[in-house]
A = this chain, B = another copy of it.
Amino acid sequence: MIIVLRPGATKEQLEHIIRKMESLGLKTLVSRGVERTIIGVIGEEDVLRVQPLEVYPGVEKVMPVLAPYKLVSREFKPEDTVIDIKGVKIGANKLVVMAGPCSIEKYDLLLETAKKVKSAGATILRGGAFKPRTSPYSFQGLGEEGLKYLRDVADKVGMLTITELMDSRELVLVERYTDIIQIGARNMQNFNLLKEVGLSQKPVLLKRGMMSTVKELLMSAEYILSNGNFNVILCERGIRTFEDSTRFTLDVSAVPVIKQLSHLPVIVDPSHAAGKWGLVPALSLAAVAAGCDGLIVEVHPRPEEAFSDGAQSLLPEKFSEMMENIRKVAKAVGRDL
């Protein structure tokens, strides 16, 4: 932690800060420049983080030196985390593709979709039973019935499942039916929910909030790891910007940035980022080229009839075609599909 004093800071103010630091068991190192005095504080930075140093008299600004997350960091664990779920490995050389409809609607439709995405190379079936909808008047999901469909279809077809958890009270229910628990973008800072899934045995896919920095995403993952669950998959799904030709702006740089900072696997959701199916293939290829560990894609055989997000869902044929191209790009960057 570096503390920069204001130009006119007094000797008393300086000493007040130094005494405070020492009372916390920290060492200080003062360097007096021509224009400013700077205090370097050495020791456990965590002790300092809870101190409102900015309000000490004479302080101009405080600059933390270390990242505030630990367990998710590459420094804590230099090698990549690989999550093995019944043989499907997430974070390994082979890319993992999760595909399916936005919401679970009808059993037969889900089965038809599952068969098609499976044969194109997807290994995990996605589908929402509890839907976070901006409007209270929109379709809110089938609930437990949907979860049953998802489990049953996935077992029939031979896939794993992923579905969103929106409420701690539904954790036991969701755990019963799914292989991976998804925490949606709007809940990335629902800290109680993070703690709950931190206590779960199931792997968690944590989506980045649409207005959250990469650092905040890592802090939210830290909530899960620090409660005991190390099987966390991070997901970039587009951030909110001023650009309006896409629904969100896919932050493809987040992939290499997270890979540098953390050992956790990173996947990309091109469907929610784009909001338009026509852009999904290009974004998927870009994400794979940038080094992600997998994709989560919305596929619907009859988007006209989808209860939600039809505009961003790929037809199964388009999905198959895209998977062919992903295979080629994956190979070009030394990965498999």
Q: Which residues on A are within 8 Å of B, measured CB to CB?
A: 2, 4, 7, 29, 31-36, 38, 40, 42-46, 49-52, 54-56, 63, 65-66, 68-69, 75, 132-139, 166-169, 186-187, 189-192, 195, 209-216, 219-220, 222-223, 226-227, 239-246, 249-257, 260, 273-274, 276-279, 282-283, 285-291, 303-304, 306-311, 313, 325, 328-329, 331-333
Closest to A224 in B: B136
Contact at B290–A285, with CB atoms within 8 Å?
A: yes
Closest to A57 in B: B304
Contact at B211–A253, with CB atoms within 8 Å?
A: no
A187 to B187, CA, bound (A): 8
Give which listed residue, B66, B273, B289, contacts A253 with CB less than 8 A. Answer: B273
Given A56-B304, A68-B137, A211-B242, 11 additional A-B pairs, CB 8 A: A2-B38, A33-B42, A36-B66, A55-B277, A132-B191, A166-B192, A210-B211, A214-B243, A252-B252, A253-B279, A255-B286
Residue of A68, A136, A216 with most chain B CB atoms under a 10 A cut-off: A136
Contact at A2–B166, with CB atoms within 8 Å?
A: no
